[in-house]
């Protein structure tokens, strides 16, 4: 397994080392503001609130699926906060598939045996034990993730 904790998440205004979350489960979610699954933000925020002591959700905006995340980093963050009350970190927009896949997603996909992310709101759950679970976007609800915590 990759040492995922050696990576940092590039947020719009700062960088956060994943090692800051080593004692928590981390839920990595590729997100989009103009997708039919966008209302999952509400459920994700509720999950973050409910499990704040043991879980850290991080959103990774990507515009790779039918251009459903066209905004700038600041516009995306504002959309998430205003429309869904999101308080969990939202990374800078980046690719999750292809030649320019951001490094965290390269490592997650490799470790989970996933070739490509299938759609917006696919999820990877990394537990402190090192157990990694991939949840395909179109078949997974936030409640399915909570059951694995």
Name the residues annotated as catalytic: 35
Which tokens in the block code for residue 18? 């994943």
Residues with Cβ within 8 Å of 122's Cβ and at least 6 positions away in sequence, in order, are: 29, 30, 96, 134, 135, 136, 137, 140
Could you give phi then psi for residue 70, rounded to 5 degrees? -80, -15
For residue 99, how many other CB atoms are within 10 A of its CB?
5
Residues 85, 68: Cα–Cα separation, whole Å? 20
């Amino acid at each position: 397994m990759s040492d995922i904790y050696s990576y940092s998440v590039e947020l719009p205004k700062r960088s956060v080392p994943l090692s800051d979350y080593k004692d928590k489960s981390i839920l990595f979610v590729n997100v989009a503001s103009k997708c039919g699954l966008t209302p999952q933000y509400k459920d994700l925020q509720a999950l973050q609130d409910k499990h704040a002591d043991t879980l850290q959700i991080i959103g990774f905006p990507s515009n790779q699926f039918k251009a459903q995340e066209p905004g700038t980093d600041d516009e995306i963050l504002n959309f998430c906060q205003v429309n869904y009350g999101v308080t969990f970190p939202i990374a800078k927009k980046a690719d999750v598939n292809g030649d320019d896949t951001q490094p965290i997603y390269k490592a997650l996909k490799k470790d989970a045996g996933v070739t490509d992310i299938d759609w917006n709101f696919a999820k990877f759950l990394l537990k402190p034990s090192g157990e990694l679970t991939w949840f395909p976007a179109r078949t997974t609800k936030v409640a399915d993730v909570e059951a694995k915590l």
